[in-house]
Amino acid sequence: MSTAASAKNGTWRNWGGNVAARPAREVTPASVDELAVAVRKAAEDGLKVKAVGTGHSFTSIAATDGVLIRPQLLTGIRDIDRDAMTVTVEAGTPLKRLNVALAREGLSLTNMGDIMEQTVSGATSTGTHGTGRESGSIAAQIKGLELVTADGSVLSCSEKENPEVFAAARIGLGALGVVTALTFAVEPIFLLTAREEPMSFDKVTSAFDELWAENEHFEFYWFPHTGSTNTKRNNRSAGPEKPVPQIQGWIEDEFLSNGVFQVAQWVGRAAPGTIPSIARISSKALSARTYTDIPYKVFTSPRRVRFVEMEYAVPREAVVETLRELRTMVERSGLKVSFPVEVRTAPADDITLSTASGRDSAYIAVHMVKGTPYQAYFTAAERIFTAHEGRPHWGKVHTRDAEYFAGVYPRFGEFTALRDRLDPDRRFQNDYLRRVLGA
């Protein structure tokens, strides 16, 4: 089964299986010119336009009944500038291909998320991020971008060229146009040492500020119904390279993290009463380990168990209180939660609708395995997140609307004014954007 979204009988579905759409037509342009023609043709036919990557968003951000643009022919590296230390890459390039190609050139992104199946434009347009004390989301590493706007013209954007578009379009939600190329800051490839170890929930929450301050990249997973977490600290290393041995890696990353975990999810789905016991076993299955490797092999890991996810960014200083409230809610609710809760951080950035825009942020992600009812859990979690002025990830399940966002994003009006200018006829509109940005 491919990790990408699927299209059968003209119906497009996302990776999580919770969103479906029937576009009037699909276009796979082989050049920026062909894409611009497709946008102009859609306008002539009175159709909306949406570009879709691998469908890893759990929201209907890419769904359309108009023209669905698939960017898989717009892939590959256009240019590497070693003086400026940038790489310019076509929008449909999967992060995996970019990471491998950069490593061959002795280069790397500074930070990345925990999976690399998505296209570069899909990942950045929704604000995909990893964890970092000083280094932000993938979009925060963008130095320039190229955008086809509603009238079919091609805009180049950077801090110097169309800076107001650049400020917004790095995380543009597909609302400002179709991104055709991205220029990322890169650096010479380096080594990271990962230290993974179990830690109690009480210890990790009481020492959170120190753990954050002492590590370049800190994250942890808490297993609901237990007092256990798994922590991961990634820090730069002088070496030597010491990757996870192949067989050990297969046992830990494939057999335990994907295979056994999948079976545990199936058992939990069939018999929800067993979930707390399974959680206690799962939380003890992964033992401490340390390894040193190139960045993408440390930051990312395979995710084969399909799930649905909600993630909110809260102010970093509110994360411990928010987590404790989440734990209390799970304990009192009678909910059975089989998937760990993921906690990461990002520094403040200057992107208009970034979840870390203007404030140091911490992310709390809740998941449910694909096919299980998630509404009660997500609704209760969302109530806690929004009480802390949380900002939901644009590509993950949430129920917020434009009125809410105008309250938690100081620059919200700046984004909608730019959209009015670039897309006055709402060529790139869909139901999701109507809800989150207003009509």
Q: What is the mean pLDDT of each run of 10 residues along the chain (439 residues)?
A: 55 91 96 97 97 93 96 96 98 96 98 93 97 97 98 97 98 98 98 96 98 98 93 96 76 60 69 75 76 94 83 98 98 91 98 98 94 94 98 97 98 98 98 96
Tens of pLDDT, residues 231-263: 999 999 998 999 887 767 655 665 556 566 676
* Structure tokens that stand for 79 in this block: 């240019």
What pLDDT sits at residue 3?
41
> H or E stretch including 90?
strand 86-90
Q: Residue length, the chain?
A: 439
What pLDDT sits at residue 256?
58
250 vs 142: CA distance, rounded Å: 34
Longest CA pairwise span in the chain (Å): 61
What pLDDT sits at residue 400?
98
Residue the block writes with tokens 């859990």: 377
Please check whether residue 281 is in contact with residue 267, taking contact to mean a CB–CB distance below 8 angstroms. Answer: no
Please check whether residue 15 is in contact with residue 306, taking contact to mean a CB–CB distance below 8 angstroms. Answer: yes
The reported pTM is 0.92
What pLDDT sits at residue 276?
76
What pLDDT sits at residue 96?
95
- Burial-class residue 323 by CB neighbours within 10 Å (0-12, 13-18, 19+): buried
What pLDDT sits at residue 439?
84
Pick from 182, 187, 124, 127: nearest CA to 158: 182
91 vs 48: CA distance, rounded Å: 20
Tens of pLDDT, residues 265-290: 676 777 777 777 777 777 676 678 89
Pick from 235, 222, 226, 237: nearest CA to 323: 222
What pLDDT sits at residue 251?
56
Pick from 47, 85, 330: nearest CA to 186: 85
Q: How far is CA 162 from CA 78, 84, 109, in A?
A: 21, 20, 24
Return the bridge partners of 69, or none: 27, 51
